[in-house]
A and B are shown apart, each in its own frame.
Chain A
C-alpha cells in the first residue's frame, strides 16, 4: 500500500522525525482555516500517489489565508497523471534550506535492504545517479544488524553532506530506518530532506510504501483508501477477490496469478484480429474456485459496463475440473432465468477436464461456450466481444 504524503509524514512524526507543521484539507475553506491557524506563509500540496506534482502545478506557495484558499480551490480536483487530488496538504512554508535526499528500499535482486543518500536533493534521483554518481551513496544494509548511528554517520559522509550536518542527518536517518523496519515498509523516501540555516534537518516530502503482507502486526487500516477510489476494485476487495480493473472489453477470471496474467496477454493478442479488443480486468480466484467465489467474481466482472464477453480460464491442478464446472453451473443459477448479460467462454484443462466439459454441456446454458484450448478460447471470446 502506497501512502499519501500526509500519511507518510504522520508516520515520520510518530517516529520523531521533524516535519513542517500542517494538516490535510478536503475543501478550500478548510485550507484557509489551517493557513489562519499556522499564522505564516504556507505551501499547498496536491495529495496524489504519483510523482511530478510540482511540474503539474500541484504544489503552490501561499503568503496568507486568502491565497491558501485560492490555491487549494485550484488544486483540489486537479488531475495529475491520471490521479485526482481529492485533498491538499497545507503546511508551514520552510525558508532558506539545503536539499538532500534519503531513502531506504528493498533491493530485490540482491535480496537485501539498500540505503540511498545524496547531497543533491530536490531533483529526480535517477538523474542524480546518471549525472552526479559521486553525490549518491548506495550502501547495502544487513537485515539483521540494521542502521545504527555509526552506520548513519557513514551514510551522511559518503553522500557528501556537509560535516556540520552529519549528526543531525544521522539522527534523522536512524529514525527513517525505524520507520522502514518497525512499520514493515518496502520503501521510505524523503526528497527533499531539508537542512535549515540553523542546521535542523526535516522531511519536506515523504513517500512510503507499506507491505500489505505485514498488516497482521500493524494498525495501518486507517491509511487505506475509502470507498471513493474507483468502485469495482473496492467492491472486489470487500469480497476478498484479487481484482484489478483494466481498460478493455473482455472480462477475465482464472486461477493463479501467472495463468491470469498469461490469459490477459493471450486475449490481447487475439483481440488484435478483432478491432483491438482488450482484457477488462485481472481476477485471480486462487486454488479452490468454489461456486460462491465464481459467482462473486462473475458478479463483479459483469457490473463493469465495458465488459462485452467473459473468459473463464481454469487449470485444474489440485482442484479437479469437474468441481470447477459444478461451481460455474451453480454460479450461473444465481443469475436467475435471465442469465448473465453477456456470453461466457469457458476453458478447462488439467485434472478431469473432460468430465468438466461434460458437466457444462449437460447444463446446456445458452450463454456458455466451452473451448478446450486457451488460444482457441481467447480467439472466441475476442470475437464475441467485438461482435
Chain B
C-alpha cells in the first residue's frame, strides 16, 4: 500500500511540453507511472511521444480530466504562471495537485490555498517540493526512482536531497511512500497530513520525518504524534548551525529571533518519544533498530 499515490493513479502533467516538464515526464513513465495527459494552454490536440508511449496534450485541466480520468496533476510551469495553473487544477476538482515549481510568491500560494480550502476537493503538495513517490507503483514529481525500493517505511520531508539520502541509505528495507512537502514558508500538505495518512496506511510500519529550521511545523507535528501516531517515528532536523536571520537556501528555512531553531524542534520531538538522529546516517541507523526490533 501507499499514501496519496498508487499504481492506479492517473497522472497529468501541467507544463509537460516545457523542458523540465518533458524531462521529468519521461522519468515518471520509466518509474511505472500511468501518465495519461499533458496540459499546456494553446497546445490542445497535440501529443508527445515518450519512447513507445504517446501522451495527448490538452488545453485545460478540466478537459484532460474528462477525457482521461486523471486524478493527479504534477505542475512544472514557471513561477509566474504557477498560481493560474494550480487554480485551474483546483477549479477542475482534481483530487491531488503536486506543485514542483520553485520560487512561487507566498501571496500566490496563500490565495491558491484559500481557494483549495474553500473548494474542499483538492490536496495540494508543495510548492517548491520534489513531489512524492510510491516505489514500484508511481512517481509524481522529480524524486529519483532508482535509488530505493518498495517496503514498509513511510517518509515525509521538507528537503529533497535529504529525502534521497535517507531513501538510499535504507534502500534494502524500502519505502511505502516518500513525500517531499517542500521548504517554502507556506505549503499545502504538512508533516501532520502525511503522518496521519501513514498512520492509517496498512502498508506503512514506521515513519521517517525530516525537518529543518524555520516555522513551527515540527513542533506541531510532535504534538500530533503524541496524540495520534502509534507507529514508531524516527526524525532528523537540519540546521543546528544556521545563524539567526539568514535564509538557508529554502525560502522557509530561517531562524527568526528565538523561534524556528533546530534545537527547539529536536527537543519537542524527543519529548514525545520520537528518536532524533544527529546526522542522516544515525537517523538511518535508528530506523534499522526500529525495524529490527519488530
Contacts and interface: CB of A to CB of B under 8 A. Distances in A.
Decide whether A and B are members of one complex.
Answer: yes
Interface string B106-148: 1110110111001000000000000000000000001110110
Interface stretch (B5-13, B90-98, B212-220, B226-234): B212-220
Which of A186, A265, A278 has its CB near the most chain B CB atoms (within 10 A)? A265
A143 B110 CA distance: 6
A315 B79 contact: no
A382 B227 CA distance: 41
Interface string B249-265: 11111000000001000
Nearest to A319: B144
Contacts of A278: 241
A261 B242 contact: yes
B280 interface: yes
Contact of B113 (A111, A216, A256, A350): A111
Contacts of A27: none
B246 interface: yes
B105 A265 contact: no
A279 B143 CA distance: 28
Interface in A97-140: 106, 108-109, 111-113
B111 A143 contact: yes
A374 B283 CA distance: 13
Interface string A278-319: 110010100000000000000000000000000000010110
Contact of A258 (B142, B168, B183): B183
Contacts of B183: 257-258
A330 B278 CA distance: 34
Contacts of A260: 248-249
Contact of A213 (B103, B144, B163, B214): B103
Contacts of B144: 317-318, 350-351
Contacts of B220: 109
Interface string A255-279: 1111111101111110000000011
Interface in B1-55: 27
B149 interface: no
Interface string B164-181: 110010000000000000
B56 interface: no
B110 A257 contact: no
B271 interface: no
Contacts of A351: 144, 146-147
Contacts, number: 169
A282 B107 contact: no
B240 A268 contact: yes
Contact of B114 (A143, A257, A265): A143
Given A317-B147, A374-B281, A257 B253 contact: yes
B215 A259 contact: no
Contacts of B250: 257-258
A143 B108 CA distance: 9
A214 B82 CA distance: 12
A111 B110 contact: yes
Contact of B279 (A213, A242, A254, A266): A266
Interface residues of B, number: 62
B279 A375 contact: yes
Given A144-B114, A257-B249, A315 B281 contact: no
B275 interface: no
Contacts of B286: none
Interface in B200-249: 210, 212-217, 220, 236, 238-243, 246-249
Given A143-B114, A184-B105, A261 B239 contact: yes
A214 B105 contact: yes
Contacts of A350: 144, 147, 164-165, 168
Contacts of A354: none
Interface string B148-192: 000000000111111111001000000000000001011100000
Given A109-B216, A261-B248, A246 B243 contact: yes
A317 B143 contact: yes
B260 to A, nearest CB: 9
B73 to A, nearest CB: 20
B104 interface: yes
A282 B251 contact: no
Nearest to B117: A111
Contact of A261 (B213, B215, B216): B213
A306 to B, nearest CB: 15
Contact of B79 (A213, A269, A317, A373): A213
Contacts of A259: 159, 161-162, 165, 238
B147 A143 contact: no
A278 to B, nearest CB: 7
Nearest to A243: B249
Contacts of A112: 110, 114
Nearest to A245: B246
A213 B105 contact: yes
Interface string A129-173: 000000000000011100000000000000000000000000000
B79 A261 contact: no
Given A213-B251, A259-B162, 6 more contacts: A108-B252, A246-B241, A256-B160, A265-B240, A317-B164, A349-B165
8 closest cross-chain pairs (CB), A and B: A258-B159, A257-B249, A256-B161, A214-B105, A259-B161, A258-B162, A261-B238, A143-B110
18 contacts: A108-B217, A109-B217, A144-B118, A184-B107, A213-B106, A244-B246, A257-B212, A257-B248, A257-B250, A258-B250, A261-B249, A265-B262, A266-B279, A282-B249, A317-B144, A318-B142, A350-B147, A375-B279
Interface of B: 27, 79-80, 103-108, 110-111, 113-115, 118, 142-144, 146-147, 157-165, 168, 183, 185-187, 210, 212-217, 220, 236, 238-243, 246-253, 262, 278-281
Interface of A: 106, 108-109, 111-113, 142-144, 181, 184, 186, 211-214, 216-217, 242, 244, 246, 254-262, 264-269, 278-279, 282, 284, 315, 317-318, 349-351, 373-375
